[in-house]
Amino acid sequence: MASLSTQPSKKAIRTPGGGGSNSGSQGGTRNSSGQTVKFARRTSSGRYVSLSREDLDMSGELSGDYMNYTVHIPPTPDNQPMDTSVAAKAEEQYVSNSLFTGGFNSVTRAHLMDKVIESEVSHPQMAGAKGSACSMPACDGKVMKDERGADVTPCDCRFKICRDCFLDAQKDTGLCPGCKEPYKNGDYDDDVPDFSSGALSLPAPDDSKGDRRNMSMMKRNQTGEFDHNKWLFETKGTYGYGNAYWPQDDMYGDDGNDGFQGGMIESNDKPWKPLSRRIPIPQGIISPYRLLVAIRFVVLGFFLAWRITHPNEDAIWLWFMSICCEVWFAFSWILDQIPKLCPINRSTDLEVLREKFDMPSPSNPTGRSDLPGVDMFVSTADPEKEPPLVTANTILSILAADYPVEKLACYISDDGGALLTFEAMAEAASFADLWVPFCRKHDIEPRNPETYFTLKGDPTKNKLRSDFVKDRRRVKREYDEFKVRINGLPDSIRRRSEAFNAREEMKMLKHMRETQNAGDALEPIKVQKATWMADGTHWPGTWAVSAREHSKGDHAGILQVMLKPPSSDPLMGGADDDKFLDFTDVDIRLPMFVYMSREKRPGYDHNKKAGAMNALVRASAILSNGSFILNLDCDHYIFNCRAIREGMCFMMDRGGEDICYIQFPQRFEGIDPSDRYANHNTVFFDGNMRALDGVQGPVYVGTGCMFRRFALYGFDPPQPDKLLAPNNNKAAADAETQTILTATDFDPELDVNLLPKRFGNSTMLSESIPVAEFQGRPLADHPAVKFGRPPGALRVPREPLDAATVAESVSVISCWYEDKTEWGDRVGWIYGSVTEDVVTGYRMHNRGWRSVYCITKRDAFRGSAPINLTDRLHQVLRWATGSVEIFFSRNNAFLATRKLKLLQRLAYLNVGIYPFTSMFLIVYCFLPALSLFSGQFIVQNLDVKFLIYLLLITLCLIGLAILEVKWSGVGLEQWWRNEQFWLISGTSAHLAAVVQGLLKVIAGIEISFTLTAKSGGEDNDDIYADLYLVKWTSLMIPPIVIAMVNIIAVAFAFSRTVYSTVPAWSKFIGGTFFSFWVLAHLYPFAKGLMGRRGKTPTIVFVWSGLIAITISLLWVAINPSTGATTEVVGGGTTFTFP
């Protein structure tokens, strides 16, 4: 029976974030924000034309003159519902080939892209992959594909048909257009779990729960409100990679060996092994180190007491300035030194990790991984300053990482919304089809192609396969062609856009000629200079010529699934003639890869990198919901393909449930051999951070960090004493592992009705939170694991992406989503500072979480650093300004809770205070010159006690440096470079940071920074060209003045002492020693000002010396010393030489 409805269609209500109207067409797809999802193809003029008859919602397009007809036809033998397996594959393919856009006051659209880049793509997971054409007349659609890229034909006759035509055939007659036979059901469902294999399966949730989770944008409960009680207390369904419920034995069939109980027995039968170990520093090194710290502390106390009680009456002003500086230096040294008292080392056991999570067993014969999901975040903002080739290499190193493919997802945030970045990422996804299997086949390391192909040494070392040389040569050639395509993208996009814009101009001119009278003058044609994509449609992001809704600060949200999620089981390759490589027995699957550019609109604060990272957190929670997040800058790549596994050893180990993040050290490439400006910063990364690891954990430094997603959501760590109190040990173990923790268990202040206020109004985002918490727990294979999960819970295949899921991920990256929520205040990356990384880590530590420092034998990640002096000073200026902001904010460690340990509190205090040392340091650097000019010294006389104190302090400093080098592994040269740059930055960038911070606090002047360019200098033949490039900045003025004044002061004091009848050599030597101490620290700065070797004319040095001598002699003539003998000759002053 059929029913006919003739009500007029209604315009979809577009709201910025509230629950919009549910009126309109029945066929629309609505998200939790009341938005309409439309599937369309954009024409060359930018108009949307419907493609999907199944998902089309015309409520926002048709006028009131049209009617909506809904025909309901009951199932018959000739009209059966679409097979679920074919439907899921068709839906996933349709989604992965669509570019989703949306945002403020606009509908969410899915634009089907037949072509993503100019070149052909073949990998079946990639958007725009080539495929067979539909055999239906007048249809240019693509045939559905399986995991290998083979055509999916729903009929035995193998008639090729696209998704839309298949839906039409199903609805019309139910007959195959090829053989005219009815479609059969159930023949294509290859996703049925195999219970006979013994693999651990999970209880399937009822349809209502599954539909509500997957289609939360289309189906709501009767009241339209989100059921918070169900989120808090009913998490027994299957979500994402696993299950948030400990199943009972009778839920797995009749055979007890197939259930969890058998798996737990098998796990407990094996001897428990730790995944990581804490290695203390040898007592022969750490005990003398601590003793020297105590001795130096006592000596400093006596020294300062002596200095205060013995002022220099002849130069009280000089004495007062020096004593103020020395007191502050002592305080600063304590803040820096005390947190270093507990350094530790750590080690991991990757073999034990593999045995626990990846080994085949009776309950897991296929060897599916039980590791949790990891979402990789890469952020970029400007393709001109952050070259797309560098970013593409970072993406390729992530896609080739040694981690279960189905558990890994890569996201890139393009804050500039540039088509250049979009197409470069599409090219990278296409090249990954060859690069990733090549890396797996030959165990390539590192898996950044640019770095790998430029390595010095024998590439065949430790390679056993006979076809390695042939494969490497072929891949090298393909990579060179890949680089040429990347480098040619700007010109390709420009020429393409010019051609399409010229075509549009001709169309408009032709239209005007046809519509106007013959005698009328034609008005000048104004055509927007749009930027066009490869498929001949407008780019929804930033145009090369900015226009309304197409600029860096004003464009729609964009999301494209470049590589759709892979299948759960390995997909082995073969001898592919197209690739000329034999990938037999090599897994050719690729991790999920998503391009995202969040929506930006005028009037909204986008919060720079922190806002982009929070948008990634929300979008990834809906699409993949990895329990852990690892973020990298676009110029940092994976150097150790097993780095993720190294970090997982800590997260999945006993006690790992209270670890909020794993920080890896930053290592850099392209640094000059002498490391002139201390770019490696090894004293901090190998000294300070290693020491903090023995307290509460290292600080977060912005990149190379693996987060626990649940900790990013602003929750406190689990506390056993407050959560559970069972009566006996066995009951305790059972209760602690089987209890499903809720949000109120971690945060008593969080009421069930406050979830939208904290996390926003996305239903799917809220539902993903307890799933991420459960999947991030360690295995419950040891009594000390208080909050574990059952082995095998994460081996369940993930569900394919559907249109509603992707559309809602577009909704959560809109500019209005964070309004009236706690994103950036308590949840996610914290706003309000240019160093959002330090503040984010501080908030987690302040809630009681701890972090771990993971130093791997092979560097986990490597990146680039600015080797130019000006760029380096601007980088340090940004860091120091953020520290000043922290000091004047509520994130000051003085205001921390009791959950922050004492030594950790001192470390964070030092982070906020260290820039203020510059005020005292710059005064102290002038003191030697003032002493030489005035003929006075900071003390009345060079007393024996003063010299003894000075000697003891110096010896303690040398002893501490040697011992610190021992336990940290830092070289003496690196330690000295760090000391030099500490003074250079302290007298330049840190001083400017203090001034800027005070201006922001007092006058409210906002601070803005620009990205540091990551490209090389003009001299492409010299990788260190930037090192010799002199770029003037006002930050150079204070160090230049300090150096010149000290040089002149030494020359002047020498002249005066030589000409004096009673030379005060002791004061001259004391002042000169301190002046040379200052000048020795400024030596790298002076080399930076000289530019390239040999380019500074010798005459410059000659004239500099002559000018210094002349000024010194003039000073002596104007202000001679009291000991000199003078006589007047003809009204002038002359000198009598001694």
The residue type of 625 is: N
At residue 795's C-alpha, the angle toward residues 616 and 375, to 5°, is: 15
Cα–Cα nearest to 424, from 703, 130, 634, 640: 634
Taking the CA of residue 943 as centre, how many other CA atoms within 13 Å lie in the half-sphere pointing to its CB? 12
A 10 A CB-CB count for 327 gives 15
Distance, in Å, from the CA atom of 471 to the CA atom of 473, rounded to the nearest integer, reads: 5
* Burial class of residue 947, CB neighbours in 10 A (0-12, 13-18, 19+): exposed
Phi, psi of 108 (to 5 degrees): -90, 125
Q: What secondary structure letter does DSSP report for 390?
A: H
- Kind of pairing between the strands at 550-551 and 554-555: antiparallel
Distance, in Å, from the CA atom of 379 to the CA atom of 635, rounded to the nearest integer, reads: 9
What are the DSSP E strand ranges found in 775-837?
Answer: none
Residue with structure tokens 């989770």? 213
What is the dihedral sign for C-alpha 822, 825, 831, 837?
negative
Distance, in Å, from the CA atom of 809 to the CA atom of 564, rounded to the nearest integer, reads: 15
Number of residues assigned to the chain? 1138
DSSP state letters, 1056-1085: HHHH-SS--HHHHHHHHHHHHHHHHHTHHH
* Burial class of residue 386, CB neighbours in 10 A (0-12, 13-18, 19+): buried
Distance, in Å, from the CA atom of 996 to the CA atom of 1007, rounded to the nearest integer, reads: 7
Kindly state the tokens that stand for 1134. 């002359």
Element (H, E) at 110: strand 106-112
Taking the CA of residue 477 as centre, how many other CA atoms within 13 Å lie in the half-sphere pointing to its CB? 8
DSSP state letters, 68-87: --------BTTB-PPPHHHH
Q: For the chain, what is the radius of gyration of the CA atoms?
A: 34
- Kind of pairing between the strands at 592-597 and 557-563: antiparallel
Cα–Cα nearest to 195, from 61, 424, 363: 363
Distance, in Å, from the CA atom of 204 to the CA atom of 188, rounded to the nearest integer, reads: 20
The answer to whether 432 and 400 are in contact (CB under 8 A) is yes
191 labelled catalytic: no
Cα–Cα nearest to 763, from 223, 106, 130, 180: 223
* Burial class of residue 971, CB neighbours in 10 A (0-12, 13-18, 19+): middle
Distance, in Å, from the CA atom of 1070 to the CA atom of 939, rounded to the nearest integer, reads: 10
Q: Which position among 837, 859, 871, 1026 bears the catalytic label?
A: 837
Element (H, E) at 1132: strand 1132-1135
Kindly state the tokens that stand for 803. 């249109």
Binding-site members for UDP-alpha-D-glucose are 379, 385-386, 415, 608
Distance, in Å, from the CA atom of 129 to the CA atom of 743, rounded to the nearest integer, reads: 42
Binding-site members are 379, 385-386, 415, 608-609, 633
The answer to whether 642 and 404 are in contact (CB under 8 A) is no
Binding-site members for Mn(2+) are 609, 633
Q: Which position among 415, 587, 686, 716 bears the catalytic label?
A: 415
Report helix angle 608-623 to 763-775, nearest 10.
80
Distance, in Å, from the CA atom of 675 to the CA atom of 539, rounded to the nearest integer, reads: 43
Cα–Cα nearest to 624, from 592, 589, 662, 588: 592
Distance, in Å, from the CA atom of 459 to the CA atom of 454, rounded to the nearest integer, reads: 10
The answer to whether 705 and 865 are in contact (CB under 8 A) is no
837 labelled catalytic: yes
Strand partners, 9: none
A 10 A CB-CB count for 191 gives 14
Which residues are marked as active site?
415, 837
